[in-house]
Amino acid sequence: MNGNTNSNMEKELVQEATTENFAFDPILYAAQYKSELLDNILPFWMEHSKDAVNGGYFTCLDRDGRVYDTDKFIWLQGRQVWCFAYMYKQIEQNPEWLAFAKHGADFLEKFGRDAEGNWYFSMTADGKPLIQPYNIFSDAFATMAFAAMDKADPNPRYKQIALDTFAHIIRRQHNWKGSYNKAYPGTRPLRNFSLPMILSNLSLEMEHILGAERVNSFIPTVIHDVMEVFYQPEHGLILENVNPDGSFSDSFEGRLINPGHAIEAMWFIMDLGERLGDKTLIRKAVNIMLNTLEYGWDKEFGGLYYFLDIKGNPTQQLEWDQKLWWVHVEALVALAKAYMHTGDAACAEWFNRVHAYTWKHFKDPEHGEWFGYLNRRGEAYLPLKGGKWKGCFHIPRALFQVWKTMEKIQQKNNAQ
């Protein structure tokens, strides 16, 4: 429906932006990220992922879009509903996008929850539960999905599902695994960074339902948790797990650094800082992002490591040195926003570097969409375009965010 969204000149510019030494040009970048979103990524998922028989989406897609497994994962179903509802609302009211989002929402509404309102982790193609609702992130992305549907196509059912699920998350937030928690109680009761990070974004996604006053009431706690509890000022980095009082735990879990999580959280915090008009908070987020990039960048082969130990010890995660799609595209969003807010040349330089690596190694020029998993040398580790963990979310969201942020940067440049 979009056809060729760029002029021939724009496409020539897009092809040139493949080295980190390329000048930071927001016009070029806006054109490139817009084209990739509208001409490649969204069409790929619309063509290959729809389950026309049972509803919902297949996310286990091989390199060329072939479905290689039909199991469905609730958090990826929710993410894809969110994606197409969000693009419908933010870009253009394309009826095909709305119908595609509704296709997934209907499946989730019919099959996704147990009798208590907990969202399962996975199910068969026809909606039979496979894995119990142990993972609160199924709930988080179901909330995002139905909040986005209510924005795109207002409906009291969508609104109620979003409200009920959000309330469920808040009730469970301090013991979100519940009976599914494998840890022995009381010995090492660590706090994990993932949920505060998600809540910093989820509350904003729910604002049209919750109201500004209630969202504002969440913000101080979220900022405190992310920027004080998990942030370690002596290192300038954010840990994945800390003791309940925020102190350091000298253990596998306590020493763990996840560069992607920290960097993604920083653009969430920048958005909150912009909302609050808090330039000091934005600058702190930018500094943490830059520290994390310096710490997490592979000096030999390029790209960001998946996991690291803050003391330089071996990690439990054998995949520690893999290069993952979501880590790199979230870094691009954070860098674009950081440059927009601060004009810091370091952010532009890092954007060029991460952009060059990401587009060279992750984009598949032959079959569309992007690879998700690279080995340390930057070679595709798996040929898949989707699976249990990779779906239609990080790449389209990042492409949209960078596109729109680059337009804002150019508008600021024009105004000067």
The residue ranges of every structural domain in the chain are 1-48+188-416, 55-182
> Could you tell me which residues are beta bridge partners of residue 238?
231
Global pTM?
0.94
In the three-class reduction of DSSP (H, G, I as helix; E, B as strand; rest coil), residue 67 is classed as strand
- E strand or H helix at 231, and its extent? strand 231-232
Residue 408 to residues 30, 313, 405, 414: CA-CA distances in angstroms?
10, 42, 5, 10
Same fold, 1-48+188-416 and 55-182: yes
User: How far apart, in whole angstroms, are the C-alpha atoms of residue 334 and residue 6?
Assistant: 25
User: How far apart, in whole angstroms, are the C-alpha atoms of residue 342 and residue 90?
Assistant: 25
108, two tokens: 């989730």
8 A C-beta contact, residue 161 and residue 225 = no
8 A C-beta contact, residue 14 and residue 3 = no
User: How far apart, in whole angstroms, are the C-alpha atoms of residue 260 and residue 241?
Assistant: 15
8 A C-beta contact, residue 255 and residue 270 = no
CATH of domain 1-48+188-416: 1.50.10.10
Give the pLDDT confidence of 123-177 residue by residue, as tens digits.
999 999 999 998 899 999 999 999 999 999 999 999 999 999 999 998 887 776 7
The domain defined by 55-182 folds into Glycosyltransferase (1.50.10)
Which residues of the chain have a pLDDT value below 50?
1-17
Rg (CA), the chain: 21
Query: b/e map of 277-310 (b: 16 or more CB within 10 Å)?
Result: ebeebbbbbbbbbbbbbebbbeeebbbbbbbbbb
Residue 142 to residues 10, 150, 169, 343: CA-CA distances in angstroms?
37, 12, 11, 36
Give the pLDDT confidence of 325-364 residue by residue, as tens digits.
999 999 999 999 999 999 999 999 999 999 999 999 999 9
Residue type, 15: Q
How many H helices and E strands in the chain?
15, 13
